[in-house]
Amino acid sequence: MIADQQVTYLFSLVRAKRMTIKAAAAKAAMSESSAHKYLRLNGLPSAFKRPPRPSRRPDAFSGVWSECVRFLEADPKLEAKALFEYLLDKYPDQFKPRQLRTFQRRVRGWKARQPKEVFFEQVYQPGDRAQSDFTCMNHLGITIQGVPFPHLLYHFVLAYSNWESVMVCESESFASLRAGFQKAVYELGGVPRMHQTDSMSCAVKNRANGGADVFTDAYKELMAYFGVEPRRTQPRRPNENGKVEQRHYRLKRAAENALTLRGYRDFDSLGAYKRFLTKIVTRLNACHQSELDQERAKLGALPVRRLDSCERLWVRVTRGSTILVKKNRYSVPSTLIGQRVEVRLYVQRIEVWHAQTLREQMPRLYGDGRHLIHYLHVIRDLVRKPGAFAGYRYRADLFPTHIFRMTYDALKAAHSVGLAADKVYLKVLELAAKESESGVEAALTRLLADQIPITLEAVQTCLSASDLSSTGVKLARYDGLLVEQVQ
């Protein structure tokens, strides 16, 4: 097919340079007869192009196309195949699977006529901006000693050099944001001029009316302490945080490849998994060393001292010997009932302080409406009030292991009166609090295996027997070792 540019070149060769038609046709990459034709017509090929012949086939989708357009306008990313399968289910007698290609061309033509969003590539300056966000890593299928490990990563990225830092966390909490940000800037050795996040609730007040005061007080204090200007993206505009979004993809792809080559996804400990991630991030950062050197020359100075990596709250202990922290409930010693205590929230744990003294430390719960009740805090009063155990809201937390749960089920089966079973179980639990939980668990395991009726006296006897057997030492064994050493 001859293009307009070829004919224009032919005209210039023949008319301006006085070249023969045969020679001009050869230089313009066309036949001599074609050259004669366009010189005779004195026009370009596009001027003589005929419009396409209309199809003689009836439009099979004319009756349903308006319905299809409504779906496409609601979600332009909707795939044509999925929409066509919807039509097959709704109109089984009207459409056949072989019409898929025709429908796909129709949808492709419709999408080609719709205006698209334009993205403008940005130019970043060294030391000017950092972006951070949380990203879910559950799709990797990581396990710790065979137990699934659902988790997030706090991901910090310098916009100019793509240098990055990550920290494992369990939720999008402010404690995780603060700890991850401080980890990144102290690894980096300086702070950027600006730090940008999306509308994460731990940093941004997501109010409908907007306003200038969009950041939480805690986040503003964090940024002010490091001398960094806070900035957020517009809601539902992840492209504005495009640098960190792209690094999410590259980090996850690198982790997936490393796990595939490793051959298994189980780790001996959380520390081993963190070292695995550190190795990947170090390898990714090695590709940006020259840009990082430029960044470091422009970074601001760090404060001499880090901020406390905890959030402090003041709460009052309820009559149930519990405290409510971030919509989750924890038990505390009953001596604190009615007192106002300071709670220090770390990424992985919480601490309860009273009168400048650490009174309790426990794992931190994430989510809403969860509870962590330890039997040590309530067992004394439950033994005095055994009738409260059956309907206790947090009764499930008072079975430290599955052996204790099996023991309670065995007691319920052995006693016709439920209160009698509750009394025996609470006495056993009190014994675990006073003596040893692991020792009582071992005694219960033996009694259940031997099908011996469980009573407090039986558990005490079994516990005493196990203590004697564990403390009895035969000195002849040491003599045997000495003989082996001499030989």
278 lies in the same domain as 344: no
Residue 468, pLDDT score = 47
Over the chain (487 residues), the average pLDDT of each successive run of 10 is 90 86 92 92 85 76 92 91 94 92 94 84 89 94 94 95 93 88 94 91 72 80 93 77 90 95 94 95 93 93 85 93 94 95 90 94 89 94 94 94 94 91 94 92 92 92 70 50 46
Domain annotation covers residue 263: yes
Residue 347, pLDDT score = 81
Residue 121, pLDDT score = 79
Number of domains in the chain: 5
247 lies in the same domain as 392: no
Domain annotation covers residue 477: no
Domain annotation covers residue 117: no
Q: Which two tokens stand for residue 153?
A: 């990563």
336 lies in the same domain as 405: no
163 lies in the same domain as 204: yes
393 lies in the same domain as 365: no
| Packed helices 242-262 and 270-285: angle between N→C axes, nearest 10 degrees | 120
162 lies in the same domain as 207: yes
- The CATH number assigned to the domain holding 143 equals 3.30.420.10
Asked if 168 contacts 270 with a C-beta cutoff of 8 angstroms, the reply is: yes
Domain annotation covers residue 412: yes
Residue 97, pLDDT score = 92
Domain annotation covers residue 89: yes
Domain annotation covers residue 152: yes
79 lies in the same domain as 212: no
Range of the domain at 73: 65-112
